[in-house]
Structure 1
Amino acid sequence: MFDYDAELVRYQERLWEALDVRPGDRVLDIGCGTGGTTRQAARAASPGSALGVDVSGPMLTRARQQAGAEGLDNVDFVQGDAQDHAFVPEHFTLALSRFGTMFFSDPVAAFANIGRALSPGGRFVQLVWQAADLQEWHTAIREALAGGHPPSASDSTAGAFALSDPQGVAGMLAAAGFTAVDVVDVREPVCYGPDAARARDAVLQLRMAGDRVGELDAVSAERALDRLSRTLEAHDTGAGVWFDSRAWLVSARRP
């Protein structure tokens, strides 16, 4: 299972500063994955609580196991889609998402549903990727696997980059009923592993890499993997394999 917590450690620090979780907060973590951010929020919010929601059952199993191992009794996890999940109305004081909101089929409906789950004055803080051509991890890895050819236009406008337009995101949040929308430019590197060999194993767990290699014949796949290895070796700093990236830190408030 890919370790998103390790990949996004620098962004986690920036998100945490913006969240300012206080004791007594009731925190909702959208797209929580294996729950690293949810557990951190639960510890900071005590005697409050944190709830993580994600569509992935295996990731939530890992999240629950880790929460149990850490002895956290104020954290819970639920499998579901935040776009239409029946959250308790006006229950949460803070909602957050670390790169978990870009895949909604209807972002305005999803943001409105999250807003209904927030108490009046509650905040919603999220990180989303900027445009694909600003993401070294995206361009370098895909070009390596494609033999130096740039990603197609469809690769750059959908999925992870669906919320890359800051004015568009602000408009969606306003349409969903949020106020005080603020969008901040954040630039941090992402890490794919402690060295090139382990980074290759990690990258191939991602759909953007695994699916592409799976489409190739044996000879082409071997060549693509060789190019990927060379790209990862070039980004091995001796203290991890790092790629540049840019994101938007988006905050808003329920009236």
Structure 2
Amino acid sequence: MAHIVNTEQEQAWNGYEGTHWARNQDRWDAINEGFDDVLLTAAAILPADAVLDIGCGAGATTRLAARRAAEGSATGVDLSRPMLERARVTAHAEGIGNVTFEHGDAQVHPLAGRGFDVVLSRFGVMFFADPAAAFANIGSGLRPGGRAAFVVAADGEGNDWIQALVGLRGLLPMGGFGATGGPGMFSLADPDRVREVLTAGGFTGIGIERVEAYGRWGRDAEDATGFLMGSGPGRHLLSQVDPETGERARRELAGILRGYERDGAVRLRSVAWLATADHP
């Protein structure tokens, strides 16, 4: 049985959140796939490399890495059993034989000495209970001279979907939703914090670049509203108000999202930091 110390996140990603992501893998990939090329280019995967994907979720980036490392391998690690099961099923269906998935907490998962050439992550390293310890453990899995490439969420102000939800502040109890700092999605939104935790984890040659991409959130405003309100953040906000207020919030959100309809889809911008580093 995997040893878990990040119990709060483990519970979340093995509950509704993980089930929702596993069930909607294709939709979430359509939202985030705009960051794939920049991440994989920065990772500079060679054909014989052994690649580690942290917070791999349903395995989209792990499968992409496995294809680039056609003579090597790709290993995905995640806390979420529902998402890992979806990852395994999809990899098998696509006939990708050089990929494996492991259930574990990257902060304590047995990675030391495994000699990975590359570690990467697409939005999977922002949720650690102890980021410095997690990155130290991740680094221990790299061979000397191994390299890292991570994409992490930047400021909420630059993310259209965050701003769309913040636009409902008159109806929903937004609190500090979308604020940078603290645990959660925006824990590494400050690039100085990224440098701090990577340095503490033993990484050197750290580079940080701001990147952005547009994701497809739905066919139209109504479809995107239903999906966004059914996601973890939307569901949490709706749970705090009565049904009538919730319906008003849905209608108002649909009105906001109509402004983003184009080319047969709702396309929202997300901003992120691309962090690269070496492990001596």
On whether the aligned pair clears a TM of 0.5, the verdict is: yes
1:213-248 CA deviation, whole Å, 9 max, x = no partner? Answer: 122102101101111111222211133211222111
Q: Which residue of 1 aligns with 2:135?
A: 111
Spell out the pairing of 1:61-72 with structure 2 (5 A cutoff).
61-72=85-96
Q: Which runs of no fewer than 5 residues in structure 2 stay unpaired?
A: 1-22
Work out the CA distance in 2 between the residues paired with 1:194 and 1:123.
38
1:21 counterpart = 2:60:
no
Q: Which residue of 2 aligns with 1:44?
A: 68
Which portions of structure 1, spanning 4 or more consecutive aligned residues, are displaced by more than 6 angstroms?
none
Q: Which residue of 1 aligns with 2:19?
A: none
After TM superposition, give the deviation of residue 150 of structure 1 in Å: 9.4
Amino acid at match of 1:153: G
1:124-151 CA deviation, whole Å, 9 max, x = no partner? Answer: 100011122222211212323x337894
Work out the CA distance in 2 between the residues paired with 1:54 and 1:46.
22
More divergent stretch after superposition (228-237 vs 66-75): 228-237
1:221 counterpart = 2:254:
no
Q: Percent identity?
A: 41
SS in 1 for 2:96: coil
Q: Which residue of 1 aligns with 2:208?
A: 183
Amino acid at match of 1:127: V
Conserved? CA contact 1:204–1:210, under 8 Å: yes
Amino acid at match of 2:219: P
Spell out the pairing of 1:27-176 with structure 2 (5 A cutoff).
27-144=51-168, 146-147=169-170, 151-153=174-176, 155-157=178-180, 158=182, 159-176=184-201
Work out the CA distance in 2 between the residues paired with 1:147 and 1:55.
35
Work out the CA distance in 2 between the residues paired with 1:241 and 1:135.
14
1:51-89 CA deviation, whole Å, 9 max, x = no partner? Answer: 011111111111000111111111000111111101251
**TM-score, normalised with respect to structure 1:** 0.94
SS in 2 for 1:60: helix
Q: Which runs of no fewer than 5 residues in structure 1 stay unpaired?
A: none
SS in 2 for 1:161: coil
Work out the CA distance in 1 between the residues paired with 2:257 and 2:84.
30
Q: Which residue of 1 aligns with 2:16?
A: none
Work out the CA distance in 2 between the residues paired with 1:208 and 1:154.
9
Work out the CA distance in 2 between the residues paired with 1:139 and 1:233.
14
1:89-144 CA deviation, whole Å, 9 max, x = no partner? Answer: 14210000001111101110000000000000111100011122222211212323
Work out the CA distance in 2 between the residues paired with 1:191 and 1:104.
27
1:234 counterpart = 2:253:
no
More divergent stretch after superposition (127-136 vs 32-41): 127-136
Work out the CA distance in 2 between the residues paired with 1:81 and 1:118.
17
- RMSD (Å), alpha carbons: 1.7
Work out the CA distance in 2 between the residues paired with 1:7 and 1:142.
19
Work out the CA distance in 1 between the residues paired with 2:159 and 2:101.
31
Work out the CA distance in 2 between the residues paired with 1:78 and 1:104.
17
Alpha carbons of 1:149 and 1:204: their partners in 2 closer, same or farther (altered >3 Å)? closer
Aligned residues: 254
